Amino acid sequence: MFVALVSPETVGQVRTRLHVAFPTAANTDVELDESDSLLDWLLAQSGHTRIQELQFSPADLQRCVRVAHALTRLGRTYLLTGALYDTSITRSVDFVDVEGEHYTMLSEAHVRSFATKLTAAVDDTPEPSQSVPMAQNDFGSIPTVDFSLATSDSENYYHQLRYALEEVGFVIFVNVPGFEDTFQRVVFAAAEELFGRPDSWKDKLSASHSYALRGHLRGDDIAGPHKAHAEAYRFGADLPAPIGDDTPFWKKLHQGPNQWPAEEDLPTFKFRHLMETLFERYQALNLTLNDHICKLLDIPQAVLNAYFPDTYEFNSAIWHYFPVNSTILSGAQNGFAQGMHEHRDPSTFLTCLIQSRPGLQVQNHAGTWIDVPHVEGGVHSRAGMQLMRLTGGKLVATTHRVNTLLIDKDRYTIPYVLSTKLDKPVETLPQFSGADVAKEHIAPNAKILRLASISDPLERSGYARLTLFPAMAKKLYPKEFQRAEELGLL
């Protein structure tokens, strides 16, 4: 920026002419083979007066440009690693919008505005707490809790539930009414029949026909880091698709009708009836767990209920994870092949899930990946980042992923989330706002932190959905997908 070959008033015009002269420069972040010619063109447009003032030769300028490009690219792509011992990330944080990007906010054009906002933020900052975050008890396995103890031995049940949600963030419930192993086996058999249909049949029910991403989608039909060795069939509350060119993308993503397969195409099971039965049982379980969490936290049920709409809505999917093969094995890195990328559930309180076999991994607080076992008739439940925010970090949202290297046969899972109000921000309850409530956690990866930093809950919910289904999102929401990449969410 200090080179200033082009004045701020003409930079837009010069950039447009440059892209006409060098079309390949318009959408790339790497140095072009023709960079020498591009630089000569830029010098011809701007004149040599400024170069003479700087006492730069063309070679000096080229070295300077390369350094500047490398630094700005580093700013856009740097990924945070290591442990996080300042638990402020687990509490409600007020983010301040500043002008420019994070790598230009201290430029000449924005530095005065940045200084003003920084001063105001510092003036409003309360005195630091003298309390010390509690040490986190690390875990090497996922706790299993007998759900029936909630009524037969509540003291024991809540003792186990507290450990599971405060120290691990994951729990496997057994003896959950309606989720017996026999019922789950029927559901997984229906899933196998669904995904066993020809690709041409599944294409007719593709989520590419649905802005709410309902229907069939694949994760292995996109190159690069977004590729996943899986396919899915998505469902949600059956609602009319919003209409109008001015409908925001987040609303299109969250609202729309399901694409139900014709019953005659899946003759072995009454597929729609079976899935709707599962969703009803999931809803009842989620509402019961909400009540249990209120008792655990000693808060009125109305506090949690206020975050859910009067008419309950949900999101769910049947996931089919492909078994490992020689091709997948050869492309694995650091003991991982991507069935689902590592993430924390960003816009939820609780996620419940049934699975047909292992493959899920959870990251403990030392950064070690722990395999989640398969328990027949078990229901997995995990805390989301919204519940973590509500409790100031007392309840933990843990990073997890699906590792295809652990899957030797076709794996089916069905997660379910009871949707919260998108327009109601989640704020930390006063009784959980002290640092002594939170615990030390392994730092989320940088993408999770960037997503959490989006202040608008509606926009954040939309980008959260895009990051979970990047292949289809790229096709249906190209502008928002590009913006998500620019924000470093993908």
Instruction: Encode pLDDT of 172-182 as tens digits.
Output: 999 999 999 99
Q: Give domain status of residue 100, yes or no.
A: no
Comparing 86 with 405, which gets the higher pLDDT?
405
Q: What is the pLDDT of residue 187?
A: 98
Same-domain status, 26 and 165 = no
Q: Which residue has the higher pLDDT, 251 or 215?
A: 215
- What counts of helices (H) and strands (E) characterise the chain? 18, 14
Specify if 273 maps to a domain: yes
Residue partners of 78: CB distance under 8 A and separation at least 6: 446
Using DSSP bridges, classify how beta strands 360-363 and 411-418 pair: parallel, antiparallel or unpaired. Answer: unpaired
Residues 198, 69 share a domain: no
Find, among 168, 250, 318, the residue nearest to 457 by Cα.
Answer: 250
- Specify the pLDDT at position 440: 55
Q: Which of 75-84, 152-161, 414-423, 480-489 has the highest mean pLDDT?
A: 152-161
Beta bridge partners of 320: 231, 412
pLDDT reported for residue 123? 67
Asked whether residue 110 is domain-assigned, the answer is no
Instruction: State whether residue 352 is helix, strand or coil.
Output: strand
Higher-confidence residue: 294 or 53? 294
More confident residue, 168 or 31: 168
Task: Give me the pLDDT at residue 457, please.
Answer: 72
Give the number of other CB atoms < 10 A from CB of residue 43. Answer: 15
> Residue 155 domain-assigned?
yes
Fill in the DSSP letter of residue 359: -
Per the domain annotation, does 5 fall within a domain?
no
Give the chain's mean pLDDT.
83
Number of domains in the chain: 2
Q: Is residue 121 part of a domain?
A: no
User: pLDDT tier at 444 (50, 70, 90 boundaries)?
Assistant: low
Higher pLDDT: 3 or 242? It is 242
Q: Highest mean pLDDT: which of 12-26, 60-74, 265-279, 476-490?
A: 265-279
What backbone torsions phi and psi does residue 32 show, to the nearest 5 degrees?
A: -85, 155
How many degrees, rounded to 5, is the angle at CA 130 between CA 129 and CA 136? 90
d(CA 115, CA 189): 61
Shared-domain flag, residues 427 and 283? yes
pLDDT of 13 above 90? no
125 has pLDDT over 60 = no
* Angstrom distance (rounded) from CA 450 to CA 277: 37
Give the strands of the sheet with 400-403, arranged side by side: 338-343, 400-403, 360-363, 369-371
Domain housing 451: 144-486
Whether 170 and 381 have beta carbons less than 8 Å apart is answered as yes
Could you tell me if 57 and 181 lie in one domain? no
Written as six digits, the tokens of 324 are 């490992």
What digits encode the pLDDT tens for the residues 144-182? 999 999 999 999 999 999 999 999 999 999 999 999 999
Q: Would 172 be classed as within a structural domain?
A: yes
Sign of the alpha-carbon dihedral angle for 417, 421, 426, 430 = negative
Question: Would you say 412 and 320 are in contact if contact means Cβ atoms under 8 Å apart?
Answer: yes
pLDDT confidence of residue 317:
96
Contact (Cβ atoms closer than 8 angstroms) between residue 387 and residue 418: no
Does residue 206 share a domain with residue 71? Answer: no
What single-letter amino acid sits at 263? E
Residues 51-110 have pLDDT tens digits of: 666 666 767 777 777 777 777 666 655 544 444 434 344 444 456 777 776 657 777 777
- Look at residue 262 in the predicted model and tell me its pLDDT: 95
pLDDT at 203: 95
pLDDT at 447 over 80: no
pLDDT at 254: 82
Domain end: 19, 50, 77, which one?
Answer: 77
Measured in whole angstroms, the distance separating CA 210 from the mean position of its chain's CA atoms is: 20
**Together in a domain, 256 and 343:** yes
Q: Are residues 165 and 56 in the same domain?
A: no
Residue 425 maps to a domain = yes
Q: Is the pLDDT of residue 382 over 60?
A: yes
Question: In 147-276, at which residue ranges do the beta strands (DSSP E only) sit?
Answer: 170-174, 215-218, 230-236
Residue ending a domain, choose from 60, 77, 94: 77
Are 220 and 305 in the same domain? Answer: yes
Q: What is the pLDDT of residues 336-378, one digit of tens each?
A: 999 998 888 877 899 999 999 999 999 998 889 999 999 999 9
Q: Which of 349, 253, 248, 268 is closest to 304 using CA atoms?
A: 349
Residue 316 near residue 414 (C-beta atoms within 8 A): yes
CB distance 97 to 121 below 8 Å = no
- Regarding whether 460 and 331 lie in a shared domain, the answer is yes
Query: pLDDT-based confidence at 137, cuts 50/70/90?
Result: low
Q: What is the DSSP letter of 13?
A: H
pLDDT value at 251 more than 90:
no
Q: What is the C-alpha separation between 18 and 26, in angstroms, rounded?
A: 9
176 backbone dihedrals φ, ψ, rounded to 5°: -90, 120
**Confidence category of residue 418, pLDDT binned at 50, 70, 90:** very high
In angstroms, rounded to a whole number, what is the distance separating the alpha carbons of residues 417 and 100? 36
Name the more confident of 143 and 80: 143
* Residue 421 clears pLDDT 90, i.e. is over it: no
Same domain, 169 and 300: yes
Instruction: Tell which wins on pLDDT, 239 or 62.
Output: 239
168 lies in the same domain as 37: no
Of 20, 46, 77, which residue sits at a domain end?
77
Domain identity same for 64 and 157: no
Higher per-residue pLDDT: 134 or 162: 162
CATH code for position 353: 2.60.120.330
414 strand-pairing partners: 354
